[in-house]
Structure 1
Amino acid sequence: MLELTITRLHEATVLLYALSVLLYFIDFLNNNRKVNRIAFWLLAIVWLLQTIFLFLYMLETGRFPVLTIFEGFYFYAWILVSLSLAINRFLRMDFTVFFTNVLGFIVMAIHTFAPVQIESEVLAQQLVSELLMIHITMAILSYGAFSLSFVFSLLYLIQYDLLKRKKWGKRLHRLGDLSKLEHMTYVLNAIGVPMLVLSLILGLQWAYLKVPDLMWFDPKIVGSFIVLIVYSIYLYLKVRKQRFGITLAYWNTASFFIVLINFFLFGSLSAFHFWNT
């Protein structure tokens, strides 16, 4: 019972960490101090929980937790979170904070969902199954964000065409103005990209644990990274190159068709997706 409770607390810590990384990514793109503060306090909660677990483990074992690779992973994750908090608080280096947290999340996820550290075989298998569920949930949420961003881009293209042909009427007003449609497309992609990154991190860990002969060039894996790349290019063009308008709308629309190809075609060709649990 105690082991199950501790495992659930570790899982909750990973989810809080994932939310913090998501918010740090949004702050990284928009330099939003309010979002940064929320992300900072979520990360502070993660650090507090990690510190408590670390202290309790030291009391139980009577030694510093660095003698095994899994103990080392946990201590390394704690160090990364501590450094990230310090950098965010005193140096204001958003780029460094975000990528430090991505690395810390990877290490934390590896430690939390590694079945070798769980004494109960049943609990270990349950933990791996829950890892799969979290991976699938995050992937679906990211695809949902990309789907809505596609809808806004499509509405943008329709609105742009109506304005270009000077087709005034009620339909024009009901579609919304171009700037709002473009902004919502950007916001949804800014949410979808980090969500997909976190999903891929957890998904690759699950595949490593459950698929011994995993082919890293599996169509679904390759397709997911292609999706990540095309939407990352969208954010790069929007934020760094200051592109806007019809070009980005076309790019985002084409990107969504890659999402559909990856979900339906590559998913059916995959050697393990949706079949091994």
Structure 2
Amino acid sequence: MLEMTIARLYEFTIILYALSVLLYFTDYLHNNRKANKTAFWLLAIVWVLQTIFLFLRMIDTGRFPILTIYEGMYFYTWVLITFSLIINRILRVDFIVFFTNVIGFLVMALHTFTPIQHESQVVAQALVSELLIIHITMAILSYGAFSLSFVFSLLYILQYNLLKRKKWGKRLLRIQDLSKLDHMSYVLNVIGVPMLLLSLILGSIWASVKLSEFVWYDAKVLGSFLVIAGYSYYFYQRLAKGITGKAIANWNIAAFLVILINFFLLSQLSNFHFWIL
């Protein structure tokens, strides 16, 4: 009975999330501030419910719930919503919440409606380690930073194209100027790259100590270092060569696509990452 009630609450949360995204889309199209405000408070309710579910899961499992792909997707969505609410309140960057939560909604929908909730808890319990928890938490937080950076780059490309085609209007003004979008994308990558690098170092240490079959050429390990290499080249282009604008935004978008491949595909090819679909 309790499990069914929680399942219904999950469904209620996803409905609120969908309404919030739809209202943000209405605001995006028609500059409707009432829709924007309503969407924000709906999203805040979603965040509260997600936080409660996160704590209930923590109490139920006796650990921080991030050790399976089911839990990781949920925590990733929570991170995106948290970041988007903070940015919306502090920076007042229009549209960032909408584009960020399109990503968050897709992940949460996968989390809610795909049958991945019942993977073996034996594996998860076997993986419990403070070092491992720190490794996974830092990785997901870095993915959250990269996701927001990706959104800023998408907005940059949209704004650039509007300016190039001389499409003047309210939407152009609300997206913010190109320099701000470019700067925020860069700042978020500055946060994400060292966090991911530290996460990889901690994860490698844990694997070397705990696993007898740890290999450096594992698909997920190589994929993670490929992500670091992609963003390192982003910094090289920007800082050493002075490349900015549309070219660097396109590279940032491409780098984020590598993250998606690493997270959803290469994790399944790994010999020791147990995030099983």
Q: Which runs of 5+ in 2 are unaligned?
A: 1-124
The answer to whether the 8 A contact 1:148-1:185 is kept is yes
Change in CA separation of 1:274 and 1:127 when aligned onto 2, cut-off 3 Å: closer
Match of 1:214, SS state, is coil
Measured in 1, the distance between the counterparts of 2:206 and 2:168 equals: 53
Q: How does 1:1-277 map to 2 (within 5 A)?
A: 129-274=129-274
Distance 1:130 1:230 in 2: 29
1:41-60 Cα deviation digits (max 9, x unpaired): xxxxxxxxxxxxxxxxxxxx
Whole-angstrom distance in 2 between the partners of 1:186 and 1:135: 23
Distance across 1 between alignment mates of 2:213 and 2:274: 16
- Give the % identical residues: 66
How far 1:127 sits from its partner (Å)?
11
Structure 1 gap ranges (5+): 1-124
Q: Deviations over 1:131-163 (max 9, x none)?
A: 000000110111111100000000000000000
**TM-score, normalising length: structure 1:** 0.53
List per-residue Cα deviations over 1:148-207 (Å, max 9, x = no partner). Answer: 000000000000000011111110011110000000010000111110110010000111
What residue identity is the alignment partner of 2:135?
H
Shift of 1:242: 1.2
Return the offset for 1:128. 7.0
User: CA separation of 1:274/1:254 partners in 2, compared to 1, >3 Å: closer, same or farther?
Assistant: same
Look up the match of 1:79.
Answer: none
Structure 1 residue 269 displacement after superposition: 1.1
Alignment deviations for residues 21-57 of structure 1 (CA, whole Å, 9 cap, x no partner):
xxxxxxxxxxxxxxxxxxxxxxxxxxxxxxxxxxxxx
Q: Which residue of 2 aligns with 1:37?
A: none
Q: Distance in 2 between matches of 1:151 and 1:275?
A: 26
Q: Which has the larger radius of gyration?
A: 1
Q: Secondary structure at the match of 1:225?
A: helix
CA-CA distance at 1:268 after TM superposition = 1.1
What letter is aligned with 2:236?
Y
The structural deviation recorded for 1:275 is: 5.3
**8 A Cα contact 2:146 2:192, kept in partner:** yes
Paired letter, 2:162: L
**Kept in 1: contact 2:267–2:275 (CA 8 A):** no
What is the aligned-residue RMSD (CA, Å)? 1.9
CA distance in 2, matches of 1:152, 1:263: 21
2: distance between equivalents of 1:259 and 1:162? 28
Deviation at 1:271, TM superposition (A): 1.1
Per-residue deviation at 1:240?
1.7
Q: Normalising to structure 2: TM-score of the pair?
A: 0.53
Q: 1:263 to 1:126 in 2, by over 3 A?
A: closer
CA distance in 1, matches of 2:180, 2:150: 14
Supply the AA of the counterpart residue of 1:200: L
* Alpha-carbon distance between aligned partners in 1 of 2:175 and 2:268, rounded to the nearest angstrom: 36
Q: CA deviation at 1:274?
A: 2.9
How far apart are 1:126 and its partner, in Å? 10
Name the CA distance, whole Å, in 1 between partners of 2:231 and 2:128: 29
Shift of 1:260: 0.1
State which drifts further: 236-245 or 176-185.
Answer: 236-245
Shift of 1:241: 1.4
Amino acid at match of 2:131: L
Distance in 2, matches of 1:161 and 1:155, equals 10
Alpha-carbon distance in 2 for matches of 1:140, 1:232? 19
Structure 1 CA distance, aligned partners of 2:155 and 2:262?
A: 23
3-state secondary structure, aligned to 1:271: coil
Q: Which portions of structure 1, spanning 4 or more consecutive aligned residues, are displaced by more than 2 angstroms?
A: 125-128
Please tell me whether the aligned partners of residues 218 and 271 of structure 2 are also in contact (alpha carbons under 8 angstroms).
Answer: yes
AA aligned opposite 1:141: L
Task: Say whether the 8 Å CA contact 1:128–1:206 is kept in structure 2.
Answer: no
- Structure 2: distance between partners of 1:180 and 1:264: 31
